[in-house]
Amino acid sequence: MKITVIRKYKKEKYTIGDMFIDNVFFCNTLEDAVRPVKIPGETAIPKGVYNVVISYSTHFKRMLPELVNVLNYTGVRIHAGNTDADTRGCILVGENRVRGKVVNSRHFEDLLMDKLNSVKDKITIEIKD
Q: Which residues pair with 7 in a beta bridge?
A: 17
> What pTM value is reported for the model?
0.96
What is the per-residue pLDDT across 97-121, written as a single tens digit (0 to 9) for each? 999 999 999 999 999 999 999 988 8
Q: What confidence category does residue 5 fall into, taking pLDDT thresholds of 50, 70 and 90? A: very high
Q: How far apart are CA 54 and CA 61, in angstroms?
A: 13
Q: From CA 84, how far away is CA 89, in angstroms rounded?
A: 9
Facing residues of 52 across strands?
A: 67, 123
Categorize the per-residue pLDDT at 26 as very low, low, confident or very high, splitting at 50, 70 and 90.
Answer: very high
DSSP letter string over the chain?
-EEEEEEEEE-SSEEEEEEEETTEEEEEEEEEBP-SS--TTSBPPPSEEEEEEEEEETTTTEEEEEEE--TT--SEEEE--SSGGGTTT-EEEEEEEETTEEESHHHHHHHHHHHHHT--S-EEEEEE-
Interval 43-59: pLDDT, tens: 999 999 999 999 999 99
Residue 120: per-residue pLDDT:
80
Q: How far apart are CA 116 and CA 108, in angstroms?
A: 12
The answer to whether 22 and 38 are in contact (CB under 8 A) is: no
